[in-house]
Amino acid sequence: MLRERLKKDLLIFDGAMGSMLQQHGLKVGEIPEVYNIEHPDIIVDIHKQYLKAGANFITTNTFGCNPIKMKESGYCYCDLLKAAIQNAKQARDEVNPDAYIALDIGPIGQLLEPSGTLTFDEAYEIIASQILIAKDDVDVVLLETMTDLYEVKAGILAVKENSDLPVFVTMTFESNQRTLTGTDPLTFVNVVEGLKVDALGVNCSLGPVELQPIVHTILKYASVPVIVQPNAGLPCLHHGETCYPMSSEEFVEAMQSYIQQGVNIVGGCCGTTPEFIAGLKQQLPAHSYPRQRKAYTAVSSAHQTVIFDGDVIVCGERLNPTGKKKLKAALQEERYEEYVKEAIQQQMAGAQVLDVNVGLPGIDETKVMVNIIKMLQEVVNLPLQIDSSSPEVIEKACRYYNGKPLINSVNGKEEVMEAIFPIVEKYGGVVIGLTLKDGIPLYAQERYELAKAIIEKAKTYHIDKKDIIIDCLTLTASAQQKEVQETLKALTMVKNQLSVYTTLGVSNVSFGLPNRPLLNRTFLTLALQAGLDLPIINPLDQQLMDTIDAYRVLTYQDQDAVQYIQHQSNQVEQSAVKASSTLSLFDIIVHGFKDEVKAKTEELLQTQNAMEIINQTIIPALNQVGKDYETNRIFLPQLIQSAETTKLAFEVVKATFSKQESSKATVLMCTVEGDIHDIGKNIVKVILESYGYEVIDLGKDVKMERVVEAYQQYNPQAIGLSALMTTTVVNMQKTIQALKAVNCQCPIWVGGAVLTSEIAREIGADYYCEDAMASVHLLQDIL
């Protein structure tokens, strides 16, 4: 019933629970979920107010109701969860039995690997435990205010594998149109739609005006219903309390444009009340507007999406032990860092997708594939192509891959399609179809027919042809010279008549013949002209990459030859990079290669003194990392990885220092009293330590008296205060006042999702920083 209504009706969610609880006496630092047991009448009343205002959904008071966040609540999270559902059911039964109860699941509260220590499986189990308790008493699961795409994936799988409930997902984006961990709206849509959610969208962090460009992108690419739940504008401070400036009338007016663009579900987040929901109900139509959306083919990592739009996409072929003694030995000896180094080299050389194959007799291919994928996700942003002949390996790799993978491959054999297509359907990948069944057909028509059969079979698994790329298979000119032309003919037929994208392993053509690079680049040119979209090649082969650059210019893909000029003018530098089999300390830090950094730093200390290494290599590398982060070339996981790598280098270098030289400055940091969120503070700490600052971390929920005591004890050069909750900004202000009361002379900077530069000034802070790199720049300027 609900899934049918999503196709046509405009549905309304409730507004903020926290804002309403504050009106009912929720104190700073109190855990809202405890009200489910201690003040159930208040929770029931809030639900009833939203239902009477016209909400179709009420959201359970369970945003943080997981075993980690509820550890200090005094209650078992299970009991709080059950009480919350019972409160929602009571309100629904008394006001509108046709309303839907949404189980609210917010972020777990810890960063997932590789940025943090929480594993994917641990995140899955936490969310699955919530689902198993609630699944028979709720109508839908809402994963909301999410910042980490990996946690989202764990949550979706936990819902789908433990219930038949519809699942909605909303992420929260910052003003740079990325989540905290660096996911952009397109990547969010591509990955989450592939996992078969029932609705997706945005909530929190920004107001309806500021969310416009983010929602515009989501609507452009999403084919499932879209949810928008903004805050009531950007937060401000009024009489010492954080508040939201928009009136209900202004909010409803701003939401009108979203309806006209085709949003299907609306509601409110921080600062919105039943008055806002009543306004939506009264002013908005009962049905959603239809919207047109063009089908697209795309693969994603957690931070980057590659769309097949007619341009040539380069897939790097070198993460494969076949014919590579070095990689074979690395796999056998479990030295997986060799794969990471090779991946970095290919990314630097211009690859846009990386093929990952670990097939080797005598190893546990499933285990090794998962380990290598996790390692690669730490340091490269490129989408990965999972390459194996084993369905078990492909399934496990898809499960732990953070993104929408390219899956290599399926073929025309019935048993192979029946093994692979369910994996593609479940995890939302793009699959490569090989035009073979009992061997490779000699003629183009036969390969075309196999491609057609693969596409038709995929339909029975609800896999659209946009998620299929056909490989017409490259034959060797040394053994099957005549059939090389058949491959090219098949390529053209598949591209033009079936309207799907194509791929080939280009270098296969030259096996057994001299001067292979000449044959490879000549065949590549012919294949591109025949309709090849995804050449699987060695991106370290400069001539092959030059051929693609030239082809892009001559076919008007590279307009005004912008990329050609850029690439060719840097060719000497690129050649030097590609020719090197080892990474410099600069590259190791930039790419966050922790396994190599200590040995390389010790090696440099043999020829350079410590300060030369710091000033000529470490600091320039960190500055490059900071620049890449600020320009969206890398994202939070890579930033943290580089920071952790730098800390290891500093440990080696600092061992040669006297005590007085060991640190730039000492800074004191904490999350203020009443706030148990410390992810942001922990990120800043890691980055500052990578720059050589000594950070004294007081932790979270820190009383102002403890901050004053620590200031007097450690005499820091700067103090950083963090708050994520609107209710704890007042405690931040009190902490600043307490510090100034003891004549604190060092600068105080503040940060957190609810803060702005205006609020920082109002509460008496000296500076405001919006993220970790801003904190680095500030301290570099003032200390």
What digits encode the pLDDT tens for the residues 121-139?
999 999 999 999 999 999 9
Cα dihedral across residues 262, 266, 272, 273: positive or negative: positive
Average pLDDT (455-460) is: 98
Please give the structure tokens belonging to residue 116.
């943090």
CA distance 492 to 495: 5
Please tell me the chain's helix, strand, coil percentages from 3-state DSSP, rounded to the nearest 5.
50, 15, 35
Q: Is the distance from CB of 403 to CB of 194 less than 8 angstroms? A: no
Nearest CA-CA partner of 64 in 148, 112, 15, 127: 127
More confident residue, 675 or 416: 416
CA distance 133 to 289: 36
If one counts every other C-beta atom within 10 angstroms of the C-beta of residue 207, the result is 22
Is this structure's pTM higher than 0.75?
yes
CA distance 418 to 711: 65
| Burial degree of 760 (CB within 10 A; 0-12, 13-18, 19+) | buried
CA distance 434 to 725: 52
Look over the chain and give the mean of its residue pLDDT values, rounded to a whole number: 93
Alpha helices in 177-317 (DSSP H): 185-194, 212-221, 248-261, 274-283
pLDDT at 573 over 80: no
Nearest CA-CA partner of 464 in 418, 414, 413, 425: 425
SS3 773: helix
Nearest CA-CA partner of 371 in 108, 589, 38, 113: 113
pLDDT at 472 over 90: yes
Domains 585-654 and 663-782 share a fold: no
- Give the range with max mean pLDDT: 467-476, 716-725, 728-737: 467-476
pLDDT tens-digit profile of 655-703?
A: 887 544 556 799 999 999 988 777 888 889 989 988 889 999 999 989 9
Q: What is the pLDDT of residue 333?
A: 93
Q: What is the pLDDT of residue 542?
A: 93
Residue 37: CB partners within 8 Å, gap ≥ 6?
75, 79, 80, 83
Q: What is the pLDDT of residue 121?
A: 98
Average pLDDT (617-645) is: 88
pLDDT tens-digit profile of 220-271?
A: 999 999 999 999 998 877 766 678 889 999 999 999 999 999 999 999 999 9
pLDDT at 105 over 50: yes
* Residue 76 assigned to a binding site: no
More confident residue, 523 or 691: 523
Q: How far is CA 249 from CA 246, 324, 679, in A?
A: 8, 66, 35
Sequence spans of domains, the chain: 2-283, 297-579, 585-654, 663-782
Average pLDDT (85-104) is: 98
Nearest CA-CA partner of 369 in 407, 323, 325: 407
SS3 600: helix
DSSP element (H, E) containing 595: helix 594-604
Q: What is the pLDDT of residue 7?
A: 87
Q: State which fold the 663-782 domain adopts.
A: Rossmann fold (3.40.50)
CATH number of 585-654: 1.10.1240.10
Average pLDDT (754-772) is: 90
Nearest CA-CA partner of 501 in 742, 319, 311, 246: 311
Average pLDDT (462-477) is: 96
pLDDT at 557 over 60: yes
CA angle, 360 then 361 then 363, to 5°: 80
pLDDT interval class at 771 (50, 70, 90): confident
Average pLDDT (507-535) is: 95
Q: Check residue 687 and report its DSSP letter.
A: H
* Residue 744 assigned to a binding site: no
In this structure, whether the domain defined by 297-579 belongs to CATH 3.30.420.610 is answered with no
**Any idea which of 179-188, 480-489, 648-657 has the lowest mean pLDDT?**
648-657
Nearest CA-CA partner of 345 in 568, 534, 540, 576: 540
pLDDT at 350 over 90: yes
Say which residue the tokens 């931070």 belong to: 303
Cα dihedral across residues 628, 629, 632, 636: positive or negative: positive
pLDDT interval class at 579 (50, 70, 90): very low
What percent of the chain is predicted at pLDDT more than 90? 77
Counting DSSP H helices and E strands in the chain, the numbers are: 32, 25
Nearest CA-CA partner of 766 in 754, 776, 779: 779
More confident residue, 114 or 85: 85
Q: Is the distance from CB of 89 to CB of 129 less than 8 angstroms? A: no
pLDDT tens-digit profile of 5-61?
A: 998 999 999 999 998 998 898 887 789 999 999 999 999 999 999 999 999 999 999
CA distance 675 to 202: 24
* Residue 236 assigned to a binding site: no
CA distance 452 to 433: 10
What percent of the chain is predicted at pLDDT more than 70? 97
pLDDT interval class at 576 (50, 70, 90): very low
| Burial degree of 237 (CB within 10 A; 0-12, 13-18, 19+) | buried
pLDDT tens-digit profile of 374-396?
A: 999 988 999 999 999 999 999 99
Average pLDDT (497-509) is: 96
**Any idea which of 22-36, 356-370, 485-499 has the lowest mean pLDDT?**
22-36
Q: State which fold the 2-283 domain adopts.
A: TIM Barrel (3.20.20)
pLDDT at 580 over 60: no
Q: What is the pLDDT of residue 236?
A: 79
Q: What is the pLDDT of residue 271?
A: 93
Q: What is the pLDDT of residue 574?
A: 52
